Structure 1
Amino acid sequence: MFVWHWCFGLLGLLLAGCSTADNEMAAGSVRAVNHVDGTAINWFKVNGYRAHGGGGDQCCIGLPFKWRPGLVVNIEWEVDPDPFAKSPPLGTDEFRTFMDKHELNYRRYSTQVEIPEYQEKVCGLTVHFLACQQVKISTSCYGTSSPQYPIKDPRHMKEPAVCTK
């Protein structure tokens, strides 16, 4: 009998721990901002959830209501370094051959980024793709063109010939 009381007590404590405010999640959209001229983000993933890189809000990410140190997201993405290459007409054999060769230039990257501290409302996650495969993220509710938006990097960066860490 004692063993059952102990097991139910432990189960109750575990379930209570799962319902604390620290573990409650807010759902938000994911969006990308490409800062590098002459490139395109074909797709990106945040913690394994895939989104297209063409901009606009996409569903979904869960973030804790309450920020805590050590919150990170895993970002993976694919870059087309020449998205405006002249191609043969769509649907032709020449186009398929062109794309087979063009896709060999795509580059894939991954990184882990710490989520910056937020105090109140979480408004989704904006992933900023910068030159030299650098990534910044924001949970700000302000629009990216607002003076209050925390990321101030220029929008039309040129990729340098050599990237230094």
Structure 2
Amino acid sequence: MSYLNGSAVCQWLGGCLLVLLAGCSVGESKFLGGDLNGVNHTSAAINYFSVNGYGGPNISAHGYGGGMCCAMLPRQWQPGLKLKVEWESDPNSNARLPALGTDAYRAAYAIHKTNYQQHSVIVDLPPYEERLCALEVHFLPCNQVKVSTSCWRYPSPNSPIKEPLEMKEPAVCPK
């Protein structure tokens, strides 16, 4: 068989393969993807957070972080769905440390890091329909968390979460 004939056969086989693949239906995904955003209503920095293992950004005290892709949720919402939110907070994010890269910095940072706090909570997944704009996690005082699936982002008046951004930690947290 000459090179030209072999090339034509390969093209024909490739074309047949494409036709066969085009006829296959992969089906609809069982999951929806959306950005993972965070809103920190507390005076402690959030070093990192995750929702069901999907990682989110760090968030400054009384700040926002987000646009991380992607949080995956079931395509069809149903009552009883839960999310596991884990995060690490730095209660003294404004600590003054020596110059970066020095031995003094490394020693001071090692001490500072011992104050980091790890948290974990299970929350209800709020309802959503047909699409997921974003999963927005709100960190509140007393290690409370609220989650929104609304397409209205905080601080829009249409956002379902209304707590002010700069909340103070109460002297005693409710149990």
TM bucket normalised to smaller: 0.7 to 0.9
Q: Which residue of 1 aligns with 2:127?
A: 117
Which amino acid in the other structure matches residue 49 of structure 1?
Y
Instruction: Give the corresponding residue for 1:68.
Output: 78
Q: Deviations over 1:36-64 (max 9, x none)?
A: 12x10000111122222231211211112
Structure-1 residue corresponding to 2:51: 46
**1:32 pairs with one of 38, 42, 49:** 38
Amino acid at match of 2:41: H
RMSD: 1.5
Q: Which ranges in structure 1 are unaligned for 5 or more consecutive residues?
A: 1-18
Between the two proteins, the alignment pairs up a number of residues equal to: 144
1:64-143 aligned within 5 A: 64-143=74-153
How far is the alpha carbon of 1:74 from its aligned partner?
0.4
| More moved, 52-61 vs 97-106 | 52-61
Alpha-carbon separation, structure 2, partners of 1:45 and 1:64: 17
Per-residue CA deviations over 1:117-140 (Å, capped at 9, x if unaligned) read 123431121110000000000011
* Separation in structure 1 between the aligned mates of residue 84 and residue 135 of structure 2, nearest angstrom: 12
SS in 1 for 2:37: strand
1:34 alignment partner AA: N
Quick one: distance in 1 between partners of 2:118 and 2:38? 16
TM-score (normalised: structure 2): 0.77
The secondary structure found in structure 2 opposite 1:29 is strand
Indicate the SS of the match to 1:96.
helix
Q: Which has the larger radius of gyration?
A: 2
